[in-house]
A and B are shown apart, each in its own frame.
Chain A
Amino acid sequence: MRYLIRKFGFYLVALWAALTVNFCIPRLMPGDPVEIMMSKLGQKGPVTPETRQSIEALLGADSSRPLPRQYGDYLAGLATGDLGVSVTFFPASVIDIIGRTLPWTIGLIGLATVISFLAGVGLGTLAGWRRGSWLDNLIPVTTMFQSVPYFWLALILLFLLGSVWPLFPLNGGYDVYTVTPGWNGEFLGSVLYYGALPALTIIVSSAGGWMLGMRNMMVSTLSEDYMLTAEAKGLRPGRIMRRYAARNAVLPSISGFAISLGFVVAGSIVTEAVFSYPGIGSALLQAVGGNDYALMQGIFLIITLAVLGANLLVDLLYSVIDPRIRARS
């Protein structure tokens, strides 16, 4: 129980830190984001005083309100879910844009990451179990994929499978001409088809890392005393591998999974850019390109919250599969 309280406490502090970073960045940076946004918004349509107020609360007004007051306004605005209005997608609000793009990203990045983790851990288990086998000797090759930048691999795959042998579409999230979004088979099929190449990119470039980590932990675990016990007990090798070796070796991989989520998100923003995928990463880049500071800050906040949430989830999962954590209270 104390473990859980500690964890929740930590994530609260981290959440506060993320909100504060989000508050500070626009105020510390050179330039006047509010004015830039106001003039851009003015070109698109009339700006109401409420809109101006909420943007000022987010990005910092040069009307000389003391910082603590500004901080209070900012938090109050966030509490009501007001993240301002987007310039790029005027008159849509930032929350709307996020709501529209986030499912795409979670579907693509989330699924691809989980698949890559499972595949990497599975292969790593086998490689560590049969040290010196061909699979084990393949590991340096697979980790080379890790040092290939996501977006470059994506470019090469696009070049080969999109242009040279046109098996997959070049960009987008689904076929916008022939398919209507909704819960119908055609649309889902199209989504899968369009998502295959981006997902493949993410899997190929990240599975190697999981595989290496798991392999190394397996090797360390194999020399533990309880492995010898399991062997002396005459258990079947498959059972020893799963319940004794892999069950222990996977623990660091899981905590490593939490840590590297941030990197995964980063890599996928760039991947989305290559494939013009209609996810949150592309929206962030559009926002950056169009000086749409409100949308930018909003997306940054959401990405951070998502990573924090995913970390918390992994921590909870960890406490379920490692009995020692539960008892350390």
Chain B
Amino acid sequence: MTRPVLTIENLSVDYLVDPPVHAVKDVSLTLRRGEVLGLAGESGCGKSTLAYGIVRLLKPPAMITSGRAVFHSPEGHDIDWGDLGPEDLRAARWDKISMVFQGAMNSLNPVISIRDQFEDIFRTHRPALRRRERRDRCGDLLERVGVDRARLNSYPHELSGGMRQRVMIAMAMALEPQIMIMDEPTTALDVVVQREILREISRLRGELGFAVVFITHDLPLLLEISDRIAVMRQGEIVELGDALDLYTDPRHDYTRQLLASFPSLTGERGSFVRGALDDRLLALDAIDAGAAKETS
């Protein structure tokens, strides 16, 4: 087995209010280079808190109380995320691990143009880059996610929800990070757009080889795109395994419940999750194909 890209050891996050709330309890994980790790669980189970804890974006009173997250660079250095000083931490963010948030509606700054929001990244992390190169790269990134480069001059409110999320993904790729954390990136989108975005993510991952931590409550969706899946409940990882194993042979009761809670299109509750999902996706693919034929 190759060297992992991220190791989380016994990470705990508490909300230090009275009484303290243990949001993440003693979580250990390894993220392999280039894999898609799904993180599933109901709302409030701590999956987002875990993700924010990895990059230390937690706001007080939330606090990492024990454990650590270590990033392994391809050159063989280990970076303990918790040991970084403020300046190093800032420099490491987005460069090593970037993020795509839920609700693309609000994760872009409404009053400055898409171009400026792209260029902010390069100006901060790649100050040596010339203006010309910077511009070109921003355009290339947008085209990479299937958005016209003329859109650089747009403001967020001029873009559709799906387009904003594509822009967000393009930004996340800007510095070619090893890891991308995606927190419910498709939840606010309708099913067709959701499908397109997922396909885009899979394609880009294939081309660029970054690892993805994909957080969602939609287990069937994870089964479709993930290599491995971790199921979280009340701050703990109750089951972690290959996507296929988890589906065919769930060990933990809670995983079984989760799987059963998604109704299949064919009627029987939970019995044909995979099949039903495939039907849904096939139907969508058919629509896409039809649309492509019409435009050509």
The proximity string for A residues 221-236 relative to B, scoring 1 for CB distances below 8 Å and 0 otherwise, is 0001110111111111
B220 CB to closest chain A CB, in angstroms? 26
Q: Is the CB of B91 within 8 A of A247?
A: no
**Known A-B contacts A233-B94, A244-B109; A327 and B103 likewise in contact (beta carbons under 8 Å):** no
Most buried by B among A225, A232, A247, A327: A232
How long is the Cα–Cα vector from A248 to B168 in the complex, in angstroms?
19
Q: Is the CB of A225 within 8 A of B107?
A: yes
Q: Is the CB of B157 within 8 A of A327?
A: yes
Any B CB within 8 A of the CB of A32:
no
**Known A-B contacts A239-B120, A323-B155; A230 and B94 likewise in contact (beta carbons under 8 Å):** no
Closest-by-CB residue of B relative to A248 is B111
Any A CB within 8 A of the CB of B106:
yes
**Known A-B contacts A231-B57, A232-B98, A327-B155; A225 and B124 likewise in contact (beta carbons under 8 Å):** no
The proximity string for A residues 241-284 relative to B, scoring 1 for CB distances below 8 Å and 0 otherwise, is 00110011001000000000000000000000000000000000
Tell me which residues across on chain A come within 8 A of B101, comparing CB atoms: 225, 228-229, 232
**Known A-B contacts A244-B109, A247-B111; A232 and B124 likewise in contact (beta carbons under 8 Å):** no
Q: Is the CB of B94 within 8 A of A232?
A: yes
Q: Is the CB of A234 within 8 A of B106?
A: no
How long is the Cα–Cα vector from A65 to B57 in the complex, in angstroms?
76
Closest-by-CB residue of A relative to B108 is A226
Tell me which residues across on chain A come within 8 A of B103, comparing CB atoms: 225
Q: Is the CB of A327 within 8 A of B158?
A: yes
Q: Is the CB of B90 within 8 A of A236?
A: yes
Having A228-B101, A235-B90, one finds 9 other A-B pairs with CB under 8 Å, namely A229-B109, A232-B55, A234-B90, A234-B92, A243-B112, A248-B110, A248-B111, A323-B113, A327-B158
Q: Is the CB of B93 within 8 A of A232?
A: yes
**Segment 285-329 of A: residues with Cβ below 8 Å from B:** 321-324, 327
Q: Is the CB of A234 within 8 A of B109?
A: no
How long is the Cα–Cα vector from A236 to B90 in the complex, in angstroms?
7
The proximity string for B residues 152-163 relative to A, scoring 1 for CB distances below 8 Å and 0 otherwise, is 000101100000
Most buried by B among A229, A235, A239, A323: A229
A220 CB to closest chain B CB, in angstroms? 13
Tell me which residues across on chain B come within 8 A of A228, comparing CB atoms: 57, 101, 107
Any A CB within 8 A of the CB of B99:
yes
How long is the Cα–Cα vector from A321 to B103 in the complex, in angstroms?
24
A329 CB to closest chain B CB, in angstroms? 12
Any A CB within 8 A of the CB of B198:
no
Tell me which residues across on chain A come within 8 A of B106, comparing CB atoms: 224-226
The proximity string for B residues 75-106 relative to A, scoring 1 for CB distances below 8 Å and 0 otherwise, is 00000000000000011111100110101001
Tell me which residues across on chain A come within 8 A of B158, comparing CB atoms: 327
Tell me which residues across on chain A come within 8 A of B125, comparing CB atoms: 234
Tell me which residues across on chain B come within 8 A of A321, comparing CB atoms: 111
* Total contacting residues, chain B, CB less than 8 A: 30
How long is the Cα–Cα vector from A239 to B55 in the complex, in angstroms?
20
Q: Is the CB of B157 within 8 A of A324?
A: yes
Tell me which residues across on chain A come within 8 A of B225, comparing CB atoms: none
Tell me which residues across on chain A come within 8 A of B171, comparing CB atoms: 233
7 sampled A-B residue pairs with Cβ under 8 A: A225-B101, A226-B108, A228-B107, A231-B57, A231-B93, A232-B98, A322-B111
Q: A234's contact among B91, B111, B116, by CB below 8 Å, is which?
A: B91
Closest-by-CB residue of A relative to B155 is A323
Most buried by A among B91, B94, B120, B157: B120
**Known A-B contacts A225-B101, A321-B111; A234 and B124 likewise in contact (beta carbons under 8 Å):** yes
Closest-by-CB residue of A relative to B168 is A229
How long is the Cα–Cα vector from A235 to B171 in the complex, in angstroms?
13
Q: B109's contact among A236, A248, A251, A327, by CB below 8 Å, is which?
A: A248
How long is the Cα–Cα vector from A145 to B57 in the complex, in angstroms?
38
Q: Is the CB of A233 within 8 A of B120?
A: yes
Q: Is the CB of B108 within 8 A of A232?
A: no
How long is the Cα–Cα vector from A231 to B108 in the complex, in angstroms?
12
Q: B110's contact among A226, A231, A232, A236, by CB below 8 Å, is which?
A: A226
Any A CB within 8 A of the CB of B121:
yes
How long is the Cα–Cα vector from A215 to B57 in the complex, in angstroms?
23
Q: Which 10 A-B pairs have the closest CB atoms?
A: A234-B93, A225-B106, A323-B155, A234-B94, A225-B107, A226-B109, A232-B99, A229-B107, A234-B90, A233-B94
How long is the Cα–Cα vector from A105 to B168 in the complex, in angstroms?
50
Tell me which residues across on chain A come within 8 A of B121, comparing CB atoms: 233, 235
B86 CB to closest chain A CB, in angstroms? 9
Most buried by B among A225, A226, A234, A327: A234
Closest-by-CB residue of A relative to B102 is A225
Tell me which residues across on chain A come within 8 A of B94, comparing CB atoms: 232-234
A184 CB to closest chain B CB, in angstroms? 45
Tell me which residues across on chain A come within 8 A of B155, comparing CB atoms: 323-324, 327
Tell me which residues across on chain B come within 8 A of A244, comparing CB atoms: 109
Tell me which residues across on chain B come within 8 A of A251, comparing CB atoms: 111
How long is the Cα–Cα vector from A232 to B101 in the complex, in angstroms?
10
How long is the Cα–Cα vector from A229 to B109 in the complex, in angstroms?
9
How long is the Cα–Cα vector from A321 to B90 in the complex, in angstroms?
29
Closest-by-CB residue of B relative to A324 is B157
Tell me which residues across on chain B come within 8 A of A233, comparing CB atoms: 93-94, 98, 120-121, 124, 171
How long is the Cα–Cα vector from A247 to B158 in the complex, in angstroms?
19
